[in-house]
Structure 1
Amino acid sequence: MNRFIIIILALGIIMPWSSIGHATATSEAELALSNQSNPTREEKVKYPTLKNAGKPEEAGFSSQKLRQVDQLIEQEINNGFPGAALVVIKDGKIVKNTAYGYAKKYEGHDLLKHPQKMKVNTVFDLASNTKMYSVNYALQHLVSEGKIDLNETIQHYFPSFKDHPSDKIKGKDHLRIIDLLHHTAGFPSSVHYHNPVRAGELYSQDRSTTLEMILKTPLQNEPGTTVIYSDIDYMLLGFIIEKVTGLPLDQYVETHIYKPLGLKSTMFNPLNKGFKEKDFAATELLGNTRDGVISFPNIRTYTLQGEVHDEKSFYSMGGVSGHAGLFSTTGDLAVLLQVMLNDGGYGKVKLFDKETIDLFVKPSEMNPTYGLGWRINANDSMKWMFSEYANNNVIGHTGWTGTITVIDRENNLAIALLTNKKHSPVIDPKVDSNKFYGDTFDISQYGSIVTAVYEAMIK
Structure 2
Amino acid sequence: MRDVLMHQAGLKPGIPTWERTVNSNGLKPTFYASIRSDEFPNEVVPGEYSTKAADDSVWAWTMRSSLLPKIKGKYPTEYSDLSFIVMKRLCEKILKQPIEGFLQDNFYRPLGLGSMTYNPLQRFPKSCIAPTENDTYYRREQLQGSVHDQTAALVGGVGGHAGLFATANDLAVLMQMNLQNGTYGGAKYFQSPVVSEFARPQTAGGRRGLGWDHGDPRKPEGPTSNLSPASTFGHTGFTGTCVWMDPENQILYVFLSNRVYPNAGNNKLRQYNIRTRIHDVIYKSLAAGKK
When normalised by structure 1's length, the TM-score is: 0.53
Offset from partner CA, 1:299-346 (integer Å, 9 cap, x none): 21221111110111112x211111111111111011112101211011
* 1:307 corresponding residue in structure 2: 146
Distance apart, 1:437 and its partner CA: 5.7
Alignment check: 8 A CA contact 1:194 1:312 kept: yes
Listed as ranges, the gaps of 5+ residues in structure 1 are 1-176, 199-203, 290-294, 426-433
- Provide closer, same or farther for how the CA distance between residues 367 and 233 of structure 1 changes in structure 2, counting only shifts above 3 A: farther
RMSD of the alignment, in Å? Answer: 2.3
Alignment check: 8 A CA contact 1:369 1:379 kept: no
Distance apart, 1:179 and its partner CA: 1.4
Is 2:118 the partner of 1:268? yes
Q: Tell me, in whole angstroms, the C-alpha distance in 2 between the residues paired with 1:268 and 1:405.
A: 19
Distance apart, 1:367 and its partner CA: 6.0
Q: Tell me, in whole angstroms, the C-alpha distance in 2 between the residues paired with 1:240 and 1:197.
A: 25
Distance apart, 1:424 and its partner CA: 3.0
Select which of 248, 253, 256 maps to 1:418.
256
Offset from partner CA, 1:416-451 (integer Å, 9 cap, x none): 0101121135xxxxxxxx5226546636x4101111
Alignment check: 8 A CA contact 2:4 2:83 kept: yes
Is 2:218 the partner of 1:386? no
Q: Which residue identity does 2:183 align to in structure 1?
A: G
Select which of 269, 279, 286 maps to 1:450.
279
* 2:237 corresponding residue in structure 1: 399
Distance apart, 1:192 and its partner CA: 2.3
Is 2:103 the partner of 1:246? no
**Paired residue secondary structure (1:376):** coil
* 2:58 corresponding residue in structure 1: 210
Distance apart, 1:225 and its partner CA: 2.7
- Provide closer, same or farther for how the CA distance between residues 277 and 310 of structure 1 changes in structure 2, counting only shifts above 3 A: same
Is 2:77 the partner of 1:227? yes
Q: Tell me, in whole angstroms, the C-alpha distance in 2 between the residues paired with 1:309 and 1:378.
A: 28
Listed as ranges, the gaps of 5+ residues in structure 2 are 23-30, 32-49
Q: Tell me, in whole angstroms, the C-alpha distance in 2 between the residues paired with 1:346 and 1:392.
A: 24
Distance apart, 1:383 and its partner CA: 4.9
Q: Which residue identity does 1:330 align to in structure 2?
A: A
**Paired residue secondary structure (1:407):** strand
Q: Which residue identity does 2:272 align to in structure 1?
A: D
Offset from partner CA, 1:157-181 (integer Å, 9 cap, x none): xxxxxxxxxxxxxxxxxxxx11110
Alignment check: 8 A CA contact 1:283 1:309 kept: yes
Alignment check: 8 A CA contact 1:319 1:325 kept: yes
Q: Which residue identity does 1:308 align to in structure 2?
A: V
Distance apart, 1:208 and its partner CA: 2.2
Distance apart, 1:348 and its partner CA: 3.1
Indicate the structure with greater helix content: 1
- Provide closer, same or farther for how the CA distance between residues 382 and 216 of structure 1 changes in structure 2, counting only shifts above 3 A: farther
Offset from partner CA, 1:105-139 (integer Å, 9 cap, x none): xxxxxxxxxxxxxxxxxxxxxxxxxxxxxxxxxxx
* 1:143 corresponding residue in structure 2: none
* 1:332 corresponding residue in structure 2: 170
**Paired residue secondary structure (1:356):** helix
Q: Which residue identity does 2:281 align to in structure 1?
A: A
Alignment check: 8 A CA contact 1:377 1:391 kept: no
* 2:189 corresponding residue in structure 1: 351
Q: Tell me, in whole angstroms, the C-alpha distance in 1 between the residues paired with 2:14 and 2:246.
A: 30
Select which of 105, 108, 133 maps to 1:258.
108
**Paired residue secondary structure (2:265):** strand
Q: Which residue identity does 2:147 align to in structure 1?
A: V
Is 2:15 the partner of 1:185? no
**Paired residue secondary structure (1:368):** coil
Q: Tell me, in whole angstroms, the C-alpha distance in 2 between the residues paired with 1:270 and 1:438.
A: 27
* 1:281 corresponding residue in structure 2: 130
Q: Which residue identity does 1:218 align to in structure 2?
A: S
Which has the larger Rg? 1
Per mean C-alpha deviation after superposition, the further-off stretch among 188-197 and 254-263 is 188-197
Q: Tell me, in whole angstroms, the C-alpha distance in 2 between the residues paired with 1:225 and 1:441.
A: 30
Q: Tell me, in whole angstroms, the C-alpha distance in 1 between the residues paired with 2:270 and 2:276.
A: 14
* 1:28 corresponding residue in structure 2: none
When normalised by structure 2's length, the TM-score is: 0.82
Alignment check: 8 A CA contact 1:389 1:454 kept: yes
Q: Percent identity?
A: 30
> How many residues were matched structurally?
258
Structure scoring higher RCO (CA < 8 A, sep ≥ 6) equals: 1
- Provide closer, same or farther for how the CA distance between residues 221 and 367 of structure 1 changes in structure 2, counting only shifts above 3 A: farther
Distance apart, 1:354 and its partner CA: 2.8
